[in-house]
Structures are given as structure tokens and as C-alpha cells.
Amino acid sequence: MSDNLVRVAVDQELCIGGGICEMLEPEVFELDDDVVISSVISNGLLPRNRAEVVVDRCPGQAIAIVEENLDKER
Amino acid sequence: MRSTVDMAPSAVVETPNVTDPSLYLQGIPHGRLAQLRAIGGLAWHPYEDGGFWAVTRHAEARYVSRNPELFSSAIGHTNLWDLEADALEARRSLIDTDAPDHTRLRRLVAGAFTPKNIRRWEQVVREITIELLDEFVVQGGGDWVDMVAAPMPIQVILTMLGVPIEDSNYLVELSNYLVEGTGDAQSIPPDAFGNTTELRLLPFNSPASHALFEYGEGMRQQRRHDPQDDLVSHLVQAEYEGERFSLSEYRNMFHLLVFAGNETTRTALSHGAMALAANPHEWRRVLDDPSMIESATEEILRWATPVMHMRRTATTDTELAGTEIAEGDKVVMWYASANRDEAVFEDPFRFDVGRADNEHFAFGGGGPHLCLGAFLARLEVTVLLEEMAKRSLCLEQTTEPVRARSNFVHGVLSVGMQPRSDR
Ligand code: HEM
Ligand code: SF4
């Protein structure tokens, strides 16, 4: 079940703008050049195992999984 | 604050000392740190007239880093010893600040250090690296620290800041005096560079800090009128929610940028070279498959752990790993130990350029203070490996390293290397 799609979101209050998310998942996260806060670009979908890694590695604990099991929707 | 009287006697008796700087002349005291990791809970480590909680496992270093409201960077100091309040105030930079000040300062500078904006400097890093490596090869080797590891990061950051070439020797000199200030001996008098500030109010108690402040101020004036594509102009123009750096925030930030990436990156490049020389089969793996440079970079950072610890101070009574921590207690995260935690890293004492899922704490354990320069430092290590690989350059270590007498930076003062051409 580890590759089920989930949706991630960034809490911009908590983001410290280090860019770990953009490094790990450049298709999903992008740092704004002016305010240096991460936002979700694209539809925010990631396989669950990869989503769990960014959630875990985000130093600001700013990323969360907000929707589960969005099976293969695009 | 805690006295030894109210401590469990066992904790007092059994804690092996890991702060004596002379231990580090022989390298990180890994045996003692492993003993500390094995103690259930946290160990109380005596230090000067008090002590600190030694956080030596990966999981708890992570927790402390990521709970800044419980573990402050702004109280006391982020080094083992406390600073007096006025000194702390005068010297305060990003690194010893808590939210909301920290968030504001960090957002003012962070834009320059995102992965995307750091990649813009790749060519600069590469040119500097090529020049140093070519010289190293032409000379048939020599002191790796002097020839490659030290000049590379300082030249990179000075270029990024926008310091003109003709001034760079002066700034290199200042930065070397600062490095000295982290050890026991200052070789310059308190009034050097026309300094009149009491030394304890200056970063690293060094008159060179005064000179660096002055220089940074000159650049600020200049860039205000004539902005360039460089970091000082970024700092001068940076604005977040209508706020800018105050003068003292600016000069401490300038100082931090000149200093923070130097000894640290130098240390990573020195231990990296030593590890590659000692493990030729690991370097061979990289030469055979350059796509391993990314994981090799992370492994070098884990292996080197240039910054061996950082300190926080408890803001309230709390509990960690079953240990009661009192408000005001010092809590010290030993990255040097977390990076060898057998609960997280398989075979932690093996240097493995292909190590997968390498969540090392060379840049701290996460949280808001995670190293600002992490992507720049990674780029510097990666470009060095790429350029070495392009030349099929193998290293042979010719002398024992001379290590820094420091429990804070895992420094190497010199180590001989020579190119080995077996390919
Ligand atoms: C291999 C090289 C480097 C290592 C190992 C390293 C390590 C660290 C560590 C351990 C911290 C403290 C993290 C914490 O308290 O959680 C830190 C903070 C910092 N580093 Fe680095 N660093 C390196 C390179 C750089 C470079 C190249 C720069 C920039 C020019 C830099 C700038 C900073 C700054 C400004 C901070 C303070 C961040 C804050 O408090 O928000 N570092 N670094
Ligand atoms: S990893 Fe977390 S803190 Fe860092 S930029 Fe992404 S969301 Fe922000």
C-alpha cells in the first residue's frame, strides 16, 4: 500500500524556507523567491512513502499529509 | 541550575568526560560517546562550575532541535559556556536568536541560500576548485588543508559576498584570526586593527571581528548606492514584511556569513580527503559510477561532522528520554555521536559512499536553525568530488593529520596528501 497517492500541504507559518522539500520533491514543492516560503505547486500528490519522507525531513515540521488514499487520480 | 548534590550518584560517577579539548587531538572520543549513548536516559556531564545534559542519540538530538520553544538558542549561549548578558546581546546573531526575531532575520537572508539560488554559483565554485586542484597536482601534492580545503570555501564566500579580489587576502587574514579566536591563543593584541571595543563583546573575543564589522559596514554603504548581483546587496535590499536589518543585525550577519562556512567546510573537505585516501575502494566505486557523488557527499558530511555539538537551554521544566530537565539547564546535542548512532546507521563506523537514507546531523538535527549554508556546503563538496573524478585523481595521505585542540569544531590544521595516478 506504500505507493498509494496522498496529498501534501505546507503550513506557511511554520516554513523556515530551507528548501529541503524542493530538493527532495522538485515537482511538488517550490520556494517563492521573494518571501522564501515553500508552496505546493502541481496537484500536491505524492506516493505515500515519499510523502512520509518529506514530512519527516522538513525541519520546520511544516508539511502534512492532508488527504489519504487518492488512488491513482491525476 | 543543578548542583551535583541533587543528581543521581550513578550519573555523576559514570559520565565519561567528552569536553576536555586535548582528547580531540587524537580525534573524536567515539568510545566515550558510545558509552554515553548506552546510558538510559540522558547523562549529566559536569562542566566548569555546573554541567549539561548530554544528548548523544539521534532520536533525542532530533527532538531537541525541533522543539525550539522548549530548548532555546537565545538564553545563555549556543556554546557550552555562558556569556554575560551584555556580551551576548552585543554578539547576538541568527544562531543565538529565538522566534520571532529568528524567523524575521532568517527570512531576510534565506532567499540567497535556497537550492535554486545556490546553484547559480556553481560555476564560481567550479572555477575556484579547478584552479586549486590543478595547482595541487602540478606541485605533486602538499598540505591539503593549505592548498585546497582552506582556500576553497573562503574564496567562494568572498566572491558571493562581492568582496573585490584585491581585498580578499585581507579578509582571509581576518578570518584566520577568527579561527584562532576559537582556540586558546590570540596572536594579535587587543587593539589590533584600531579596535577599541572590549574583547568580550566581540565574536570570538577577537579584534579581527572589529575589523570585519568595519569592512562589512564599508561594503554596505557602497552597495546601498550601487547594488550588484551579490550577497551584500541582497542583505542591504532584503525586506520582509516591511522590515530590514538593523545596523547591528547587518554587521553580525555579515560576520556570520564570512565565518560560518569557512572552518566548517574546510573541515569537511579535509576529513573527506582523508576518508577517500584511507578507503581507496570506496573512491573507486565513485570513479566507476559518478552518479554516486551525491551519496558520497552526504557520507563525507556524516563522516566529518565538522560541528561536533550545539547547545540549547531549557525554557521550562520538561522531560526527555525519561530524564527530568529543569528550566535553565543546558542541553547539548552531540552531533558527532548522533552521526554514529547504531540505532539509525547500519555499521556506523564504516565509510560507505553508497549509504542510502543518510539522515546525518552535520547541519544540525533539523528545526529552524538548520544550517543556512547547507546547500552551499553540499555544492562545494560535490564540485570537489566531480573535479577529482574528472581527473581520476586518487589521493594518498603522506602525513598524520594535525588536529585542532577543540571539542567544538572537528578541525584539521594540516594533513599531507599527494596525487596517486593508478589509472
Ligand atoms: C560543511 C559545512 C558546514 C557545516 C558542517 C555546518 C554546520 C552547521 C551547524 C551544525 C549549524 C547549527 C544548526 C543548529 O543549531 O541546529 C549551522 C548553522 C549555520 N550555518 Fe552552517 N555549516 C556549514 C557550512 C555553512 C556555510 C557554507 C554557511 C554560509 C555561508 C553556513 C552558515 C550558517 C548559518 C548562518 C547558521 C545559523 C543558522 C540559524 O541559526 O538559523 N554554514 N551550520
Ligand atoms: S522543507 Fe519544510 S521548512 Fe523547509 S522549505 Fe520546505 S516546507 Fe519550508
Cell of B180: 584562532
Ligand closest to Cα of B331 equals 1
Q: Which of B102, B116, B240, B360 to mutate to test the interface with A (most CBs of A within 10 A)?
A: B116
Of all atoms in ligand 1, which is nearest to the CA of residue B95? 40
Check A35 against B374: CB less than 8 A apart: no
Q: What residue ranges line ligand 2, CB within 6 angstroms?
A: A 10, 15-21, 29, 31, 38, 58-60, 62-63
Look at B367 and A59 and tell me if their CB atoms are within 8 Å.
yes
The answer, yes or no, to whether residue B423 has pLDDT greater than 60, is no
Q: What percent of chain B has pLDDT over 90?
A: 69
The answer to whether the CB of B370 falls within 8 A of the CB of B364 is yes
Q: Beta strand pairing status for B412-414 and B71-72?
A: unpaired
Task: Give the whole-angstrom CA distance, residue B190 versus residue B196.
Answer: 8
Percentage with pLDDT > 70 across chain A: 92
For domain B10-420, which CATH number applies: 3.90.226.10, 1.10.357.10, 1.10.630.10, 1.10.10.10? 1.10.630.10
CA of A48 to the centre of ligand 1 (A): 31
Distance CA B53, CA B308 (A): 15
Helices within B293-372 (DSSP H only): 293-304, 335-338
Of ligand 1's listed atoms, the one at least distance from the Cα of B362 is 5
Return mean pLDDT, chain B. 91
Q: Does residue A43 sit in helix, strand or coil?
A: coil
Chain B residues inside the 8 Å CB shell of A60: 367-368
Partner-chain contact B110 A61, CB within 8 Å: no
* pLDDT at B181 (0 to 100): 64
Q: Which of A14, A15, A16 best probes binding to B when mutated, by most B CB atoms within 10 angstroms? A: A16
Residues of chain A with pLDDT under 70: 1-2, 72-74
Instruction: Determine the distance separating the centroid of ligand 1 and the alpha carbon of B372, expressed in angstroms.
Output: 5
What are the residue ranges spanned by the domains of chain A?
5-69
d(CA B108, CA B103): 9
Nearest to B110 among A20, A22, A36 (CB): A36
pLDDT in tens, B307-347: 999 999 999 999 999 999 999 999 999 999 999 999 999 99
Measured between alpha carbons, how far is B47 from B44 in angstroms, rounded to an integer? 9
CB B157 less than 6 A from any atom of ligand 1: yes
Q: How far is CA A9 from CA A44, A74, B138, B272, in A?
A: 7, 17, 53, 37
Cis peptide before B151 (omega within 30 of 0): no
Task: State pTM to two decimals.
Answer: 0.92
The structural domains of chain B, with segments of one domain joined by +, span 10-420
The answer to whether ipTM exceeds 0.85 is no
Please answer yes or no on whether B114 and A60 come within 8 Å at the CB atom: no
Which pLDDT belongs to residue B2? 45
Q: What is the pLDDT of residues B154-164, one digit of tens each?
A: 999 999 999 99
Rounded to the nearest angstrom, the minimum Cα separation between A66 and chain B is: 21
Q: Distance between CA A42 and CA B34 in Å, rounded?
A: 45
Going by alpha carbons, the residue nearest to atom 6 of ligand 2 is A21
For residue B325, the cross-strand partners are: B318
State in Å: Cα B264 to ligand 1 middle.
8
Q: Do B115 and A57 touch (CB under 8 A)?
A: no
DSSP B134-183: HHHHHTT-EEHIIIIITHHHHHHHHHHHT--HHHHHHHHHHHHHHHHHTS
- d(CA B240, CA B234) in angstroms, rounded, equals 12
So what's the pLDDT on residue B203?
Answer: 83
Nearest-CA residue for ligand 1 atom 7 is B363
Q: How many CA atoms lie less than 13 Å away from B135 in the CB half-sphere?
A: 15
A16–B366 CB contact, under 8 Å? no
Q: Is the pLDDT of residue B200 over 90?
A: no
| Topology, domain A5-69 | Alpha-Beta Plaits (3.30.70)
Distance of alpha carbon B48 from alpha carbon B45, whole angstroms: 10
Element (H, E) at B250: helix B247-260
